[in-house]
Structure 1
């Protein structure tokens, strides 16, 4: 890893380290010591994909390391130069700086970091702006970015927090998101969304990050979100030890175990019923792929996998039970 450069940047004259990693592994190592902009909204409970518990598990090393580049990450990395080219083509009067060097900006005191994508100078905005580059599918755009009432493009909260964090750590006067939507036709739609830098939000984020690191130092942990953190919890406690724990005083746990056991028994019974009814239905279909009853449409098409074949049974209500066959 290259030695860190020091700079006085942003609100409150933060001392910022600028690390220029030699490779992806060095970049990942630099990020591990901080709450990074891409997941910063998690400490506010406002991140779509990361919870406070998952962030705690990652930063304390309890979560199994996953340094593999996902398909979404690969798409984003490959599309960055394309998005930059689109910005320069659409707005030739803008000065766009794009290094693509994974330069990592961090506040070592607050332990907040960011890897900015690009910087823009525009005649209609004072100073340099931070530009966060994003790509998404048309379905994701409609679901997460488009306001259904006004048809305005509104970035998800976690992305707005990311852009504000990057602007603060890089000393930028303003921030924006350059979003490219990949349509079902294979075309690209570019949206430039300005992100107001709300200092109250930034100050709240800084406070929450301080509280997060204080919790980590104390050995405490946040409460899991049981709707979202199930896989993280089982990963954190993936290794068993030869010991016995007395949990007899935990009445709530005793009730949870009762609910779990009842659900498990009911699920096993339901599976037995399903396994019995499935061949009955296929027998009535014979070799036909689709059958219609008074209220149901049934399909059982043959599929071939790993040298074997089977019929996949699917059922759905008939749209018009009174229609003719």
Structure 2
């Protein structure tokens, strides 16, 4: 494995370097075990179909601010360790398999061989109890996606062992540190590499991963946020008529059917693609892009979906 180290000058350069790879923080997505990123969402990001990146979120900034605190706490808790921390966003990437990582810190523990990868994480006390504590054993067990991130970082940086240093922010405002070892299990690394290879095969073939309409609806709407001045003939798509009928019924029962409608709308927009209008055997569809100006925030845009029965076609419900 040939790994290149990039030392970006600023955040923009760091984001640009990461754009070409599946990074360690989302590696679990290719195995469908990431709680926040699906394969389709990752595909939309890596193919440049999502809206331009905005400012870092509050959660991201919390991680940035907590990172040096976590390092200081680790040095206090493990004084025998030699902790290496540069805060330089050094980016490690394997160009061949297109996997990358930005490790937080490294450590040498005199009690074991080699150098270790240290991943700094933070969590509120409630999140710690919900996602880090095994309900049966009461042991601290990192979420799967975080363990896979640590394995990826360790492999790319050539480390011999890995751990997660978790800073828990208690409800009193105090901090607690938990240091959890992550076993570097080879089959997990092989699974990550295999999943990443398949992800890039799909991308290079001009395809996309399966869409989970429950999770990916907002991403589909973002991918197809712009409409063009054409009309797509969807007359042969009988399944879409069923979706539209369900969507209309859901909208009529707004209070109880909002979740269903929000799942069906992206499916209709997906069928339209970037077309501003379309027609099925039963319906005329319009979904033009609407840009809304604001004096207190940046302007926003969305696809406004309008559906009506086709005048030249009487809908026969018995057909479905």
Q: Post-superposition shift, 1:233? A: 0.6
8 Å CA contact 2:32–2:39 kept in 1: the answer is: yes
Task: Please tell me whether residue 153 in structure 1 is matched to residue 154 in structure 2.
Answer: no
Partner of 1:118: 105
1:68-107 CA deviation, whole Å, 9 max, x = no partner? 1111111111111111110111111111000100000000
Distance 1:108 1:268 in 2: 50
Task: Please tell me whether residue 214 in structure 1 is matched to residue 201 in structure 2.
Answer: yes
Matches within 5 A, 1:1-325: 14-267=1-254
Distance 1:189 1:269 in 2: 43
The 3-state SS of whatever aligns with 2:228 is coil
Distance 1:140 1:217 in 2: 38
The 3-state SS of whatever aligns with 1:227 is helix
Aligned in 2, Cα 1:268/1:16: closer, same or farther, shift over 3 Å? closer
The 3-state SS of whatever aligns with 1:246 is strand
Aligned length: 258
Aligned in 2, Cα 1:193/1:253: closer, same or farther, shift over 3 Å? same
Aligned in 2, Cα 1:270/1:107: closer, same or farther, shift over 3 Å? closer
Q: TM-score, normalised by structure 2?
A: 0.79
CA RMSD of aligned residues (A): 1.4
Distance 1:32 1:59 in 2: 6
Q: Post-superposition shift, 1:270? A: 9.5
Distance 2:254 2:193 in 1: 46
Q: TM-score, normalised by structure 1?
A: 0.77
Partner of 1:11: none
1:35-79 CA deviation, whole Å, 9 max, x = no partner? 000011100001010000000000000011224111111111111
Distance 2:105 2:88 in 1: 10
Distance 1:48 1:32 in 2: 21
Q: Post-superposition shift, 1:248? A: 2.0
Q: Post-superposition shift, 1:125? A: 2.1
Aligned in 2, Cα 1:247/1:159: closer, same or farther, shift over 3 Å? same
1:266-308 CA deviation, whole Å, 9 max, x = no partner? 227999xxxxxxxxxxxxxxxxxxxxxxxxxxxxxxxxxxxxx
Moved over 4 A (4+): 268-271
1:10-54 CA deviation, whole Å, 9 max, x = no partner? xxxx11100000111000000001000001110000101000000
